[in-house]
Amino acid sequence: MRLRMLAPVIAVGAASVVCAAVPATASTPAVHLARIQYDAPGKDTTHNVNGEDVKITNSGHSSVSLKGWTLRDPKNHVFTFPSHTLRPGASVWVHTGKGRDSGATLYWGMGWHVWNNTGDTASLRDSHGKSVDSCTYHDSGVGYTNC
Domain ranges across the chain: 31-146
Q: Could you tell me the pLDDT band of residue 115, with boundaries at 50, 70 and 90? A: very high
pLDDT of 20 reads: 38
pLDDT of 21 reads: 38
Q: Could you tell me the pLDDT band of residue 19, with boundaries at 50, 70 and 90? A: very low
DSSP 74-116: TT--EEE--S-EE-TT-EEEEESS----BTTEEE---SS--S-
101, 66 Cβ separation under 8 angstroms: no
Stretch among 3-12, 110-119, 134-143 having the lowest mean pLDDT: 3-12
pLDDT of 28 reads: 62
Q: Is the overall model pTM greater than 0.85, yes or no?
A: no
Q: What is the pLDDT of residues 58-93, one digit of tens each?
A: 999 999 999 999 999 999 999 999 999 999 999 999
Can you list the pairs that 72-75 forms with residues at least 24 positions away whose Cβ atoms lie under 8 Å? Answer: 72/122, 72/123, 72/125, 73/114, 73/115, 73/116, 73/120, 73/121, 73/122, 73/123, 74/120, 74/121
pLDDT of 48 reads: 95
Q: At a CB cut-off of 8 Å and minimum separation 6, what does 61 contact? A: 30, 88
CATH of the domain spanning 31-146: 2.60.40.1260
The percent of residues above 90 in pLDDT, for the chain, comes to: 78
